[in-house]
Each structure stands twice: as C-alpha cells, then as structure tokens.
Amino acid sequence: MSTINTSEGLSQNTLSRNGPSRNGPEKKKGKLSGFLQYVNQHKFIYLLLLPGVVYFVVFHYVPLYFLQVAFKDYNIFLGLQNSQWVGLSNFRDLFTSKFFLQAFNNTVILSIMNKVFGFPAPIILALLLNELASQRFKKTVQTIIYMPHFFSWVIVGSIFITLLSPQGGLVNEFLGLFGIEPIAFITSKKWFRWVLVFTDIWKSCGWGTIIYLAAISSISPDLYEVAVIDGAGRLKQIWYITLPSIIPTIIVVFVLGLAKIFNLFEQVFVMYNPLVASVSETIDTYVYQIGIVRAEIAFATAAGLFKNVITVVLILLTNQLVKKIQGESVI
C-alpha cells in the first residue's frame, strides 16, 4: 500500500510540477488562439493592411490559375476546363513567329536603353541637388522635377507629340533658328526609340531622386568634415564618400527595377504609330494586339508567360551576382 501511495504521490507531484501533458493538437490550438488574440489586439492595423492583401490576392495570385490557358487551345465558349490541352504548341508557334521575335528584340533593346540612360539619371540628379546651397531653390527644383511623375502617359504623350511635331512643334521651331530642317521625331524609325527613352527619363527621373536623396541624407556629416580637413574638394567628396555610401541603395533599386524592365506598354501604346511599328512593337503591345484585338487568348497568354519567366530568371541571376559581390542577397 505504501508503495502504491508513493507512486501515486510521485505521479501527482510530477503533474503538478510539469503541468498537464500537451499533445500535438492542443499545442496547435494554443498557438492558434495566441495568434487570434494577437490579431484582435492589433485589429486596426490589420484592417489597414486588408485592402492591399485583397488587391494582391485578386489581381496577382488568382490570375496564376489561368496560366494554364497558355497550354490549351482555349475556346471561350467551351470554357477553361473543356478546352483542348495542346502542351507547348502555343510556345512553338510563338518562337517561329517573326512578329513576336521582332517584338522581343525591340523590348530587349528599349529595356537596355532605358537602363543605360535612365537608371543613372536620378542618381546624377540627386547628387547635383545635394550640392545646392540654397534650400529654397533646392525645394523649388525638386517640386518642378517631381511633377511629371503624377502625369499619366496619355498626357505626357500628348505633350511630346505636340512639342515634336514637324509642323509648328516647339522643338522644330527652335531647330529652325539654326537652319535645321524639321525632323519627324514621332514617325522616324531613327529617332522614335530615343523619344521613348527621353520621355521615360523626363517622367520618372525626378521621382527616383527621392530615394537617393534620402540615402544621401543618412550619411554622417563627420565623414565630410574629415574629408575637408584632408583637403578633399567637392568632387572627391562625392566620389569617395557619397557614392560609396549609397551603393547598397543603388543595388537594391536596380534589382527591384528589373521586375518592371520589360513592362513597356502604356508609354509605347500612347506614342505608337504604324510607321515605326518595326522598331517600337514590344511584347506588351504584341500581347494586346493578339489577345484583345484578334482574340487569340491562348497565344497571347503564352507570350505574356514567356516574358514573365524571362524577368524572373533575370532577377534571380542578378541577385546571385550581387550576393557573390556583396556577400548578401537583396531578395
């Protein structure tokens, strides 16, 4: 009897010391209730977050289900499930289409031009603005160069089509003062790509300087004071202090910008005309013509999917390159 009582006492002491044993479902239930309690405690923050979550779910994640259209002979009357599965047939037709290859070639060229000339522009502009001594003049310039960001491409396209018109356009009127014949910028295959690059810089450059000015403002003033003591001028301070300090920001902006490197629809669509189709047709405008105008939905989906896959691969490769150089990845 004493042995049994002792065993029962030990068991009761063990339970009282360690608490009741919890199995898997009870632990999960405890975690779930803790999470719900945390959500309830911060419910107003989650309510503010909800519209953004709904947006991404509806417009970015739900459409992933319909990517299977690219692998089917889609018929709108049969529906998605009843349409015939054709595998990679749409992609084979895509890669043998001279119009798609032309659109892909134009997309790559325009994207490279935008990166080569457009990416350094806000960096240079931020460095120049940072050197301005007058804060009033600096804020005035910032306000002026930020404004184009809020204009739609319809407005920007209308402005530059008017300015670059060979009949009475302000640019050609100015060139005429130097005896230069009017140039049809918008309908010239030679000039149209440069018009696209310039208008993109004009619209986005000012807004992009915000990020770099914020990065520059976080640099310790002590570094500049030491540089002045060592006899470094403004150019050397920019080269040896400012630029190295904002390189991490430049890399992050560059990698994240690759996600939109092939997104060339609105600008090209607004300023596009048949005379320059051979040098301005991009994958996005090609998808619009094939999918919306000609209603070849499966073919257009295959083209769009190919563009997105190339973009993802490009981002991952660039991220790995940054990881090897810096020792840490961006994404």
pLDDT tens-digit series, residues 189-244: 999 999 999 999 999 998 889 999 999 999 998 998 898 888 888 899 999 999 99
Asked whether the predicted pLDDT for residue 164 surpasses 90, the reply is: yes
Q: Classify the C-alpha dihedral 18-19-25-28 as positive or negative.
A: negative
- d(CA 249, CA 285) in angstroms, rounded, equals 32
Is residue 6 scored above 70 in pLDDT? no
Residue 32 CB burial class (10 angstroms; 0-12, 13-18, ≥19): exposed
Query: Stretch 5-17: mean pLDDT, rounded?
Result: 46
pLDDT band at 5 (very low <50, low <70, confident <90, very high): very low
Distance CA 105, CA 109 (A): 6
Residue 281 contacts residue 106 (beta carbons within 8 Å): yes
Run of H or E residues at 326: helix 297-326
pLDDT band for 255, please (50, 70, 90 cuts). Answer: confident
Supply 313's token pair: 């691969």
Does residue 45 fall inside a structural domain?
A: no
CB atoms within 10 A of CB 103: 25
Could you give the count of Cα atoms lying within 13 Å of 224 in the half-sphere of its Cβ? 15
Model confidence at 23, in pLDDT bands (50, 70, 90)? low
What mean pLDDT, rounded, does the chain reach?
86
pLDDT of amino acid 133: 83
φ/ψ region of 214 (left if φ > 0, alpha if ψ in -120 to 50, else beta) reads: alpha
- Asked if residue 43 is part of any domain, the answer here is no
Dihedral angle computed from the Cα positions of residues 124, 126, 129 and 131, in that order, rounded to the nearest 10 degrees: -80
The verdict on residue 55 lying in a domain is no
Please say if the pLDDT value at position 20 is more than 80. Answer: no
| Mean per-residue pLDDT, 23-38 | 70
**Distance between CA 50 and CA 231 in Å, rounded?**
54
Number of domains in the chain: 1
Residue 319 is predicted with a pLDDT of 83
The DSSP call for residue 115 is: I
Give the whole-angstrom CA distance, residue 92 versus residue 151: 40
Helix residue ranges, H only, 131-260: 135-146, 153-163, 170-176, 192-217, 221-229, 234-237, 243-257
| pLDDT range class, residue 82, cuts 50, 70, 90 | confident
Hey, what are 322's tokens?
């940054």
Share of the chain above pLDDT 90, in %: 45
Phi, psi of 84 (to 5 degrees): -70, 135
For 16, 20, 221, the CA distances from 8, given in Å and listed in that order, are: 12, 15, 72
Do the domain assignments include residue 53?
Answer: no
163 belongs to a structural domain: yes
In three-state secondary structure terms, 200 is helix
| CA–CA separation, 237 and 243 (whole Å) | 9
List beta partners, residue 84: 73
pLDDT reported for residue 2:
43
Is 294 within a domain? yes
Beta bridge partners of 85: 72
Q: What is the pLDDT of residue 112?
A: 94
Task: Quick: pLDDT tens for 98-150.
Answer: 999 999 999 999 999 999 999 999 999 999 999 888 888 888 988 899 899 99
Q: Residue 194 is part of which domain span?
A: 88-326
pLDDT in tens, 286-331: 999 999 888 889 999 999 999 989 998 988 888 888 888 777 776 6
With 50 as the cut, is the pLDDT of residue 7 above it? no
pLDDT greater at residue 265 or residue 9? 265
Q: Does pLDDT of 30 surpass 90?
A: no
207 within a domain of the structure (yes/no): yes
Say whether pLDDT at 152 is over 60.
Answer: yes
Q: In this structure, what CATH number is given to the domain that contains residue 251?
A: 1.10.3720.10
pLDDT 10s digits, 58-77: 998 998 898 899 999 888 88
The answer as to whether 83 is a domain residue is no
